[in-house]
Amino acid sequence: MSGGVGIDVTSIARVNQLLSRRPEWSRRAFTATERQDCEGHPRRWATRWAAKEAVRKLHGSLGLPLPGFVDIEVVLAARGAPSLRLHGATSRLRLSLSDQGDTAVAVVTGMAEPSVFAAVPGLLRLADRPDDAHKGTFGTVLVVGGAVGYSGAPLMSASAAARGGAGLVRLCVPEAIYPVVAAQTLEVMTNPLPDADGGIAPAALEVLRRRHAAGAAAMVLGPGLGRAPGTERFVLDMLGELPAPTVVDADGLNIAAAHHVDWRACEQQVVLTPHPAEMGRLCSTPTAEVQENRHHLAASLARTSGTVVVLKGSDTVVAAPDGRLHVSDLRVVALATGGSGDVLSGLLGALIAQGLEAFDAAVAAVFIHGEAALALQHRRGRAGVLARDVIDELPAAQERVRRVVEQRRPR
């Protein structure tokens, strides 16, 4: 992290003359909230302009990319000091504003952060977020998982789907852990399923079919499932009638590998998200060999199975059945903690629910997941980041990435 100071002094009359000659300039330099607050107040236009220049000067002095003027927002509370938002997220930079006569002065101090923490891949796409959207616009994610002793995994996956931008998230877990999980959810709709031996029972398929599957735009199957016999039967039956494009993770992968599931028989697009050991089970290959042949094995499995494969780990590989291959260059040690994969599966489900094709959703999810962890690593260090921390960081990370993607679009 880098600390510094940015100072700007500007003429109030000059700023307002510019606005008078070129009214369109206000939309390019000020947010809608700022325009509403400044209308009819000449000094406010000038102090906010000085603040934006001070922020850019601070970034420039530290060798960081300069944020756009509209990416910097000055926030004035009813009481207290002014604050800043950068790229849609609250900034830790401190801001002081003053004006006297024809002069407006802004001073910005603190620890500056880059606009994004990693270079956004050129092929990365995100679904639009129109201003007139409603929750139905962004789809419903159905998360199915959990077992006694594994209540956290489905909860983290569902929470990540919500933080990833899904309009609605429905979480279905075995009745044995339902009270524990439901007590920790507000925005996520949690529902009990018939259970057996601490896991999901085969009878749960009919409950899902009748009560929960209709209307799902994406499904996440596997977080915390366990390997109880009834659960294995449920998973195999579920794969035979998937209600929507589905992310299969964790024990969903292990069960499928043990029973040699034919992924091409699935009626929906499937995304597999194995870590190296799970990939070894899917390919009947030792984990060490998986690590030595990551690109080849991911591409081969995607081609032969008709699925999108996300082989997790350093240099995560995303492979599509049609031969497309993307290798992430993000290596983030802060992600080396339990639950990170559950967060990724939920985020991936959310991006599919918002309308992205499976391969595009996987590329975006891998990057946003890593971007969120890089931001946490930047602030907190390489050890001790929790999966729940990554979940909370997802909105700001996605917004930073979205602004880069939007800037690349032809005007």
Catalogue the long-range contacts made by 234-238 (C-beta closer than 8 Å, 24 or more residues apart): 234/200, 234/201, 234/202, 234/204, 234/205, 236/261, 237/202, 237/205, 238/144, 238/205, 238/208
CA 240 vs CA 11, 169, 205, 266, 284: distances in Å: 69, 22, 11, 6, 22
Is 228 annotated to bind ligand?
no
- CA-based nearest residue to 38, from 7, 14, 73: 73
Give the SS3 label for residue 7: strand
Output the 3-class SS for 27-95.
HHHCCHHHHHHHCCCHHHHHHHHHHHHHHHHHHHHCCCCCCCHHHEEEECCCCCCCEEEECCEECCCEE
Is 314 annotated to bind ligand?
yes
Pairing relation of β-strands 2-11 and 189-193? Answer: unpaired
d(CA 156, CA 237): 25
Q: Cβ–Cβ contacts within 10 Å for residue 112, how many? A: 24
Is 153 annotated to bind ligand?
yes
Is 341 annotated to bind ligand?
yes
Is 312 annotated to bind ligand?
yes
Do the beta carbons of residue 341 and residue 249 sit within 8 Å? yes
Is 99 annotated to bind ligand?
no
Residue with tokens 């880069």, as numbered in its chain: 404
Is 224 annotated to bind ligand?
yes
Is 52 annotated to bind ligand?
no
165: left (phi over 0), alpha (psi -120 to 50) or beta: left
d(CA 152, CA 179): 13
Catalogue the long-range contacts made by 15-21 (C-beta closer than 8 Å, 24 or more residues apart): 15/42, 15/45, 15/46, 15/49, 15/104, 16/42, 16/45, 16/46, 19/45
Q: Which residues are annotated as a binding site for AMP?
A: 312-316, 341
Q: Which residues are annotated as a binding site for (6S)-NADPHX?
A: 153, 224, 275, 342
Q: Which residues are annotated as a binding site?
A: 153, 224, 275, 312-316, 341-342
